[in-house]
Structure formats: C-alpha cells, structure tokens
Chains A and B, each alone.
Chain A
Amino acid sequence: MSAAISAKRQRLILVVLALVAIIGAVLLAMSALKGQAAYFYSPADVARDGVPVGRAIRLGGMVADRSIKRAADGVSITFTVVDGAYRSDVRFRGIVPDLFKENSGVVAEGSFARDGVFDATNILAKHDERYMPPELAGDKHKTETLAQ
C-alpha cells in the first residue's frame, strides 16, 4: 500500500505534519501562557485594577523607608513596596539579594494571599549601579512624572 505513495505525495504529507506540529505547539503555548504569564504590577496598579488571590504576578516598586522587618527565625522578612502614595506589604522567606535595601528598587515574584499580603517566592533587586531592570526604570520615570 505504501508503495503507492509517490515522492510528491510523501512530501505533501510531511508538510502537513510539520504544519500540524507547529500549530499544535502554538496552541499549546498560548493555552499555557494564559495560565502562567506573570504580569508586572506596581502597588498603584494593584490598587487600581485589583489582583485575584493566588495569581502569579511580579510586584515592583521601591522598598519603603524603615519597612524591612525580620522575623524571629532570622530568615523570614516583611517589607513594604511603595509607588507614590500606594503601598503593598510583602512577606518573604529566604536570603534577599545583596542589593536589596530600603529606598531602593525591587521586583518581587509571587502572589497575593487571602490576608492581602504579597507572598514573594523570589526577590530581584537592582543589579549594579548602571543597571536597572527596564520595569523599574520605566516605573521610576512614571513616579517622577507624577511627582512633577
């Protein structure tokens, strides 16, 4: 039976298979993206748009002055991310990056818990003196514009 398939026919089958694979990959990717992409929010965005409990997001802004508090176990901390007048409280267990400090930029990855506190699974801080994550650079710019 297969001997009846000509080279041309076989090529057509392969092209169709390739298209099916690529389209399948795209559909798989799109459906996974819907559930898994983490959007970037500043505390102001959170206040304006609201974020469902448990949804993976990145929360970015400045670490508020004198807001970093360490729990008794020595490795859990809480702090507040501010963006202009808006604030979000964050909980984190782990070693924070070297450049994580008050009045400095931060991006926390995680989700909001039922009590309204942000449970961070990962903390990113400003990398070096010249380098700033584009999210933060953009945000700082926005904050400055607001302040003017």
Chain B
Amino acid sequence: MIAELGLAALWLAAALALLQFGCGMLAMRGSEGMAALVRPVAVVQGVLVTLAFVCLLEVFRVTDLSVALVAENSHVAKPLMYKIAGAWGNHEGSMLLWVTVLGLCGAGVALIERRLAPPALMATLGAQAAIALGFYAFLLIASNPFARLNPAPAEGAGLNPLLQDPGLAFHPPTLYFGYVGLSIAFSFAVGALLTGEVGPAFARAMRPWVLGAWIFLTLGITAGSYWAYYELGWGGWWFWDPVENASLMPWLAATALLHSVTVVATRDGLRAWTVMLAVVAFSMSMVGTFLVRSGILTSVHAFAVDPTRGSFILGLLVLYIGGALTLFALRVGTVREGSRFDPVSREGALVLNNLLLSAILGIVLIGTLYPLGVEAVTGEKLSVGPPYFNSAAGPLALGLVAVMAVGPLLRWRRDDLAPLARRLALPVALSLIALAAVLALLGPIGVMPLLGLALAVGVGAASLAPLWGRSLRRTPLFTWGMVVAHVGVAVSLAGMASETAFTRETLAAARLGETLSVGPYAVTIRSVAPVAGPNWTAIEGTFVARRGEGSAFALNPQARTFSRPPTQTSEAAIATRLDGQLYVVLGPQAEDGRWQVRLWWKPFVTLIWLGGAMVAVGGALSLIGRVLRERRAREALA
C-alpha cells in the first residue's frame, strides 16, 4: 500500500506541476484569477512530492522486498540507519530525492518570497514547474522507484558496502539541496528575462536563495571530500574524479554568481552577466546529474547502466539549457546596461573574480567532457586525471585567491592604487616572511605548495583587514560572513599546501611486533584478530603509535568483508591531532605471514575541511545578516 500511495502522490505532484506551469505563464500575462492559484499549487506540489519521498523511506525502513528497488538495493540484515539512508543509495531513490528538493525549493519560494514583483514571481514559479515536469516525467517513465516485484524475493541484494557509512546519511541530501537549490536562481533568471525586470530589486530577491544553495553545496562538497578521504583508504582528499567535478562545477558557477549578484544589488552593474551565470549555475547542476545518473561514468556513484535513461536526461538537458540560452539570446537586448565603474574598484575585482572562476569552470568542464566526447566520436577511451587539472586549473586558482585578498580592500565604483598599496603592505609582508620562513626552516618544497602556503598567510591577513580599525560590535553580520568565508579559503589552502608538501608515507609488509616509523611517529603492529559487525566480518589490526616520548595510543584499522553483496572494504584508522592526522591502512596478509601496512602522517590536513566548514559558516552569517537587515528596513518603513 505504501508504495502505491507514494506512486499516486508522485503522479499528483506531476499533475500539479503542469497546473503550476500553465497558471504561472497565464498569471505572468496578467490573469488575476490564475495568480491566486500559483502559490498554493506550488506549496501543495512540494508537500505531495515530499509525501512520495517519505513513502520511499518507509518501504526501505520496513524492507518491503516486493518493491523492486528495495529488493535490488537493500537487505533485512542491515543497520536501520543504512536501510533508511539506502533509500537514496541507488538511481531511482536518488532521483526522487532530487525531485523532492526541487519541489521543496518551489514551495519555499511560493511561501517566503515577498520582494519580487508579482509578474516576475509568477514567471519564476512557472519556470520552476517546467523544470519539475521534465524530471517527474523522467521518474515516472524511466525510473519508477515504486515498481513492484512479483514474486517478492526472500532477501534483498544489499547495498554497496562502500556506501554503508554515516556519510551516506549526510552527504547526498546536503549536496542535493545545494545542487537543486540552484534551480531557484535559474527560475529567477528565466522569470527576469521573461518580464524584463533585471535590476537591484531582482538581485536582492535572488541573493538569499543563491547563498542558501551555495552554503549547502559547500558543505556537501566538503563532507564528500572527507568521506572519500577516510572511506576509500587512499589517503587523498580530491581525486578529480568526474563525479567530484560534477559537484565542483555548479559550485564554481554559484560562487561567481554569488559575487556578481552582489554587484547588481549594490551597484546595479553586471546585469546581463549575472542572469547568464544564474542560467549556467543550474545548467552545471543538470550536467552533473546527467554525468552521474546516466551511468556513462566509471564511479561508485554510477548505480546502473541503462542507455534509455542517459538519453532521457540528455534530452531534458538540451531542452532546459538550450531553452534558457535561447531565451537569453532573444531577451538580453531588453536588459539595459547597468552603472559604470572604474577598473580599479570593488566591481573591477569582482569582475576579475568572475572571469577567473569562469575560466576554471571551463577547464574543469572540458577536462570532464573531453573523454566522453572523444569516445563518442572515435570510440577511443581515455582518462583525464589530476596532472591535467592541477597544471591547468591550479595556477588560476592561486590567482583567484590573490584577487580574493585584494577585492574586499577596494571601494565600490572607483578607488586609487596608492591607498590600496598601503592597505596591502602588511599582508604582502607577512606573505613574504612566511615564504622565507618555509624555505629557511623546511628546505625546498614544490613550487605550488610553497606559493600556496605563502599565499594562505597573506590572504588570511588581508581577509581580516576589512575589520581593522572598525568597531567589531558594529560591523554588520554580512561583513563578518565575508571575512569568515575568505579566511576559511585561506585555511583550506594552507591545509592543501601542507598536505601536498609535507605528507610522509611508509608502505611495508610487517610481522607482528615489528615497529615502523612515519613522520614523528613510531607505529608497532601488535595483533591482528577477527571481529564481526551487524552485516560484516573483518580482520582488525591493533597498532600502537607513539610520538617521541609521548604516551602511546591504539589504532584499529579493519579489512571488512560484507556478505550482501559479497565485497571487501578497507576501514582506515585515523588519529587526529592538532597538527595533523596519522592514517593507518591494513592490507592483506602476504604468503609468508607478514601484513601489508600503509601509514601516512599528514600534517595539518584537517585544515582543508575546517576551512570548507568556515566558508559555509561565513555564508550562513552573511545570509542571516542580509535577512535581518532587510527585516529591520521593512519594519522601519512600516
């Protein structure tokens, strides 16, 4: 029954999306009666699709094996958390989550948005419904999550053990709220193009939504990076895997949008460019969805390979991106030029920020799509990996961080170079001192890590500069948000540079009792014994690590064997210290009885994710600050 209820709710939600689209378009043209309908319909659509999603969670919770999706992806003997989170650990379920977030975004706009002019709001909600329609069709026609199986099997096939991790409960929903949240920016842009209202009011209305999606996207990427770091047991935090790129590309576009929308809101410049970016940001989300969900990529995220699904999403992609770009081309002439500004100004720095972000986005996009293009045309298979991305995007990213340090120190509209040089003197000096100190104390390291460390110090100092000489209590919350986010970038950059330059690795086959050294630690392998979990068995090593004369502590890496599906995974043991992480992986036993062991000492690696979290917190402070200020402004008017 639950599955049928879910399916019915999904069909109803799809029908309401059609209604919302029709009413929205009529209301935009001035039909008063229709306008009254659009908001409630959007809310009810959101409620219905959420109901469908809750039904899916329920069939997974009770492990209803007569539902094909549950039978293929779940198992009775699995911890409850993974039964529920497993609902989106598969193609159909994750697409339903995607559409649910889309519906919730539309409902959120319908409920909260009060600043947008009524015709633009109607067009926005109509566009949101148009996107939803395509993806409802995709779910109902090509990816029905509620299909029944007759007869029901006695037990399910189980969930990919790599996904059986607390990360599964957090990473996909967070990422989807970011990914799909950008649909609001897309719909706002379509609405603005249709009604021709691109200006500060439009930008101020769009900004909180962009900021909200961007916060989730930042958190989702940070969490995904840490998950891959500890779960895969490879010790890396970013692999330039196409699926990672699929989440990075919308983030790059959204970051650019976040900064350009501020230019429109504050100074009424960069209007057409901002609308374009809003279209591009969600287009990147859809490209990412296509890459991940069509099964054309080799990845732990690629759940099932079904060519019809790939063509279906590709069709939607062409329809929406092509449609939006055509609309842009037709209507961009109606967008008037904004205000003028000098090259040396806050706007100038933000333009540079946008150009660099776009260039990085282009490089990542080309590197990700190139192998697919080559294979489609010539049938030749190739992979584009870290060397390409690091060499092509790395220098641009460092340049971007440098611009980030300078931008906040510039005034809007026009500024002079002399005062800027004075404001930058201290950060630049600190940067050079850091450069000299690293070279003197630690000896030669790679060029990129060296630049990264020096830049991180300078950027950290420069990012704090907007607070100098200000009363901290009277500094607006959104300024704090910017400072925290920018310092977060510097912190993350320092972590990346430190990890790249100073990681120490020891790979060896060791007998019990043998002691290996890695970085400042001596690690002794004490014992290896079998242990059992709820749905796995494992061999667990007991390692004792000691740093110099400090106290010893135990580490317990495991090599797990899951029965459903039969798979082995490696669970690294990680000890976190203030100045880094000790990372221990237990490999298989060699024929002569020795155990393969891989040890890493990664100084300050945690800064990478701490910085990511700071960026998200900065975004949240900024969002709260903007909303509060607006509320106060409204109250002052009333």
Contacts and interface: CB of A to CB of B under 8 A. Distances in A.
Interface of A: 2, 5-8, 10-11, 14, 17-18, 21-22, 24-26, 28-30, 32-33, 36-40, 56, 58, 70, 73-75, 93-96, 98-99, 109, 127-131, 133-135, 137-138
B392 A28 contact: yes
A107 B385 CA distance: 14
Contact of A38 (B383, B567, B568): B383
B461 to A, nearest CB: 28
B355 interface: yes
A25 B388 contact: no
A73 B387 CA distance: 29
Contacts of A25: 358-360, 362-363, 366, 396
B565 interface: yes
Interface string B287-305: 0000000001110101001
A39 B596 contact: no
Contact of A37 (B341, B370, B585): B370
Nearest to A95: B587
Nearest to B509: A74
A75 B566 CA distance: 25
Interface in B489-535: 507-510
Given A37-B371, A128-B565, A133-B298, A94 B384 contact: no
List the 7 shortest-distance A-B pairs measured between CB atoms, nearest first: A74-B509, A40-B381, A98-B568, A25-B362, A25-B359, A36-B388, A95-B587
With most chain B CB atoms within 10 A of its CB, the pick from A30, A75, A135 is A75
B417 to A, nearest CB: 13
Given A11-B337, A22-B362, A29-B366, 18 more contacts: A5-B340, A6-B340, A7-B338, A17-B351, A18-B273, A21-B358, A21-B359, A22-B359, A25-B358, A26-B366, A28-B359, A56-B385, A70-B590, A74-B509, A93-B507, A95-B585, A98-B568, A127-B300
A132 B447 CA distance: 38
26 contacts: A2-B342, A7-B337, A10-B341, A11-B272, A14-B270, A22-B362, A25-B359, A25-B360, A28-B359, A29-B366, A30-B366, A37-B371, A37-B382, A73-B509, A74-B509, A74-B510, A74-B594, A75-B587, A94-B507, A95-B507, A98-B559, A109-B383, A109-B385, A129-B567, A134-B296, A135-B298
A134 B298 contact: yes
B32 interface: no
A33 to B, nearest CB: 6
Contacts of A75: 507-509, 587, 596
Contacts of A98: 559, 567-570
B591 A18 contact: no
B592 interface: yes
Contacts of B565: 128-130
B248 to A, nearest CB: 15
Contacts of B337: 7-8, 10-11
A138 B298 CA distance: 12
A67 to B, nearest CB: 15
If over half of B's interface residues share one DSSP class (helix, strand or loop), that class is named, otherwise mixed; here it is: mixed
B537 interface: no
Contact of A39 (B339, B356, B363, B381): B381
Interface string B361-388: 0110011001100000000111111011
A62 B70 CA distance: 32
A24 B509 contact: no
B302 A7 contact: no
Contact of A10 (B340, B358, B381): B340
A66 B508 CA distance: 23
Contacts of A135: 298, 381
A28 B360 CA distance: 10
Contacts of A95: 507, 570, 585, 587-588, 596, 598
B366 A33 contact: yes
B367 A33 contact: yes
With most chain A CB atoms within 10 A of its CB, the pick from B296, B358, B381, B570 is B381
Contact of A99 (B296, B342, B380, B568): B568
B238 to A, nearest CB: 15
B585 A39 contact: no
With most chain B CB atoms within 10 A of its CB, the pick from A26, A29, A99, A130 is A29
A32 B509 contact: no
B355 to A, nearest CB: 4
A32 B392 contact: yes
B508 A74 contact: yes
B346 to A, nearest CB: 15
Contacts of A133: 298
